Structure 1
Amino acid sequence: MSVIHLAGGPVSWGVDFADTPGNPPPDVVLDGIAGAGLCWTELGPVGYLPSEPGAARAALRARGLGAVGTFVFDDLHRPAAHPAVLAAVDAALAAITATGGTRLVLIDRPSEPRARTAGRSDAAPRLGAADWTALVDVVRRAAERAAAVGVRAVVHPHAGGYVEFEDEVDRLLDAIPAVEAGLCLDTGHALYAGGDPAAQLLRYGPRVEHLHLKDVDGAVRDRGLGFWDAIAANVFCPVGDGLLDLVAVRQVLDTIGYAGFATVEQDRVPGAAGDPAADVRRSVQRLRAAGIG
């Protein structure tokens, strides 16, 4: 049987970047995560929670929350950005270790050409050989820095990034030894890219060391919008409202014996209509009813 610890995260309130106008206060987000019956949370972008480590730990402790880790959402595909990427990695690792987390999630941020073609493999431009080699190198350097402080790096394929489709995931995992980094499989982004999350879980098996559980509204996805426009159109929905086959996912998680965290997410625009806390509660209830977490 799989052993899964469900977690929440600020992304379900639209918090992708710490300085975005309209981000809700951290207290609202942390209260919503705890109110969904969760005991774990990702920290969100560096700078969103209090920067003083003691204050961040106290905010989590007051709500009975433990830290999973956080992400670096940056231009892994652009060699000129790599000094800034590694600086962001160092800042993220400081936040993770200060709060007792264990996961560094590395995500290639959508660029304009790939965001425009998100979910459409046949139309999406691909990285040339030199830029691909540079992307692999910066991931390996980030993973090395993480390992040095006892944190495990995992790569997150993301709609609109240059690691999105299965051939790109395969290529990356072939280039990075399992001893260096794992995979964060996001069910929503797998669905957005036209994949089958259950089949991918079975395929990648032991490389999967972290999960993001989210769902996709197929009608919105199939409109062919650019990634950010699709977010604004609510392409991601509460778990159980969209394309995700919870029964198949649970069966495969049991088959591969997945043991670890699974962060419940629903990417959205800050301040968008709806109730993020209620959506997280609904997602958690459905996941637990399906035997996940």
Structure 2
Amino acid sequence: MPPSPAPSPASRIRVGSAPDSWGVWFADDPAQVPWQRFLDEVADAGYAWIELGPYGYLPTDPGRLRDETGRRGLSVSAGTVFTALHRGPSVWDATWEHVSAVAGLTRATGARHLVVIPSFWRDDRTAEQIESPELTAGQWQHLATGTERLAREVRDRYGLEVVVHPHADTHIDTEAHVERFLDATDPALVNLCLDTGHYAYCGGDSVKLIETYGERIGYLHLKQVDPAVLAEVVAKGTPFGPAVRQGVMCEPPRGVPALEPVLAAAAKLDADLFAIVEQDMYPCPPDRPLPIARRTRRYLRGCGV
């Protein structure tokens, strides 16, 4: 009998989706679909992995959450937290109170990752600017040392890996800011959740980042931006929230970056990676997400994952 063919490197990439792809940005908002509907539909669309989304959207009782996901054939890949560590040691206690709650629930689901998103320099509901878009040297130092401390505590207490998510309208957004953050942090503690849509929104090249900092890529979020809408957003200086409402994030393969080269570059890393679909579209009609999710899953199968 001939030997079995070696598995494709892409087979080490596990695809999932997230509440974000159902228009969920907040733990409780009447504009969002109920969590039961999200779970039903994400399973129906063909995904086996999900993220927790904003803490409190899905049940926070570990037993109930395991029951609800398990009976739908779903597993959890990660939890998500927002932090403002650039503000220095004074925010540590409040930060840890939130992070420890999310990390505890994440560990209880069997997940191994905690996605850390830097706080917005705009208000996440009104889009009003509340901080400078640029950090001082001292604030960069607080951000780096605070993130390393957070990653160490999360690893030692909960066994989770911290992956930091560069995000539009935060201080870790552009190529220059992402590289500065990576160069300032310990690779043994801090890696990236590369969001292809946010990085493109901020002018970055995902394939280049993977090829240059491959050892720091610990997790992927898959999304695309509509180049025409993005050009208008950049020209007008539109904040991220209103840009989403204008449709700046679009379903693949209608936007950029092309996901096939991104996935091919990620497959060359020879690492086990999650690739979680996150199509920002808050708010959205409740019947819109499921057809998009089905088409996106079908498209990604065509990309070999």
TM-score, normalised relative to structure 2: 0.88
Mapped partners of 1:230, 1:116: distance in 2? 14
Mapped partners of 2:286, 2:30: distance in 1? 16
Q: Judge which range, 14-23 or 125-134, deviates more.
A: 14-23
Corresponding position of 1:120: none
- Pairing partner for 1:227 from 240, 243, 250: 240
Instruction: Tell me how far 1:135 sits from its aligned partner.
Output: 1.4
**In the alignment, is the contact (CA less than 8 A) between 2:245 and 2:283 conserved in 1?**
no
Mapped partners of 1:125, 1:106: distance in 2? 18
The equivalences for 1:66-105 within 5 A come to: 66-79=75-88, 80-105=90-115
Q: Is 1:127–2:129 an aligned residue pair?
A: no
Instruction: Tell me how far 1:20 sits from its aligned partner.
Output: 3.0
Q: Secondary structure at the match of 2:154?
A: helix
The equivalences for 1:128-207 within 5 A come to: 128-148=136-156, 149-207=158-216
**In the alignment, is the contact (CA less than 8 A) between 1:154 and 1:181 conserved in 2?**
yes
Aligned positions, number: 286
Mapped partners of 2:193, 2:258: distance in 1? 18
Corresponding position of 2:32: 23
Corresponding position of 1:8: 17
Mapped partners of 1:86, 1:239: distance in 2? 36
Q: Is 1:262–2:272 an aligned residue pair?
A: no
Structure with max Cα Rg:
2
Aligned AA for 1:92?
Answer: V
Instruction: Tell me how far 1:85 sits from its aligned partner.
Output: 2.1
Distance 1:91 1:229, change over 3 A: same
**In the alignment, is the contact (CA less than 8 A) between 1:110 and 1:162 conserved in 2?**
yes
The equivalences for 1:279-290 within 5 A come to: 279-290=292-303
Alpha-carbon displacement from aligned partner over 1:148-193 (angstroms, at most 9, x marks no partner): 1111001110011000011111111112111112111110011101
Aligned AA for 1:277?
Answer: L
Root mean square deviation, CA, Å: 2.0
User: What percent of counterpart residues are identical?
Assistant: 38
**In the alignment, is the contact (CA less than 8 A) between 1:116 and 1:160 conserved in 2?**
no
Distance 1:270 1:106, change over 3 A: same
Mapped partners of 1:231, 1:84: distance in 2? 29
- Pairing partner for 1:248 from 240, 245, 261: 261
Mapped partners of 2:169, 2:245: distance in 1? 14
**In the alignment, is the contact (CA less than 8 A) between 1:265 and 1:280 conserved in 2?**
no
Q: Judge which range, 78-87 or 222-231, deviates more.
A: 78-87
Aligned AA for 2:112?
Answer: T
Alpha-carbon displacement from aligned partner over 1:114-166 (angstroms, at most 9, x marks no partner): 9789xxxxxx8410011111112221122112101111001110011000011
Q: Secondary structure at the match of 1:5?
A: strand
- Pairing partner for 1:276 from 289, 294, 297: 289
Q: Secondary structure at the match of 2:86?
A: coil
Aligned AA for 1:10?
Answer: P
Mapped partners of 2:110, 2:19: distance in 1? 18
Corresponding position of 2:69: 60
Q: Secondary structure at the match of 2:204?
A: coil
Structure 1, gaps ≥5 residues long = 118-123
TM-score, normalised relative to structure 1: 0.91
- Pairing partner for 1:38 from 16, 23, 47: 47
Mapped partners of 2:222, 2:259: distance in 1? 10
Aligned AA for 1:170?
Answer: E
Aligned AA for 2:161?
Answer: R
Distance 1:13 1:151, change over 3 A: same
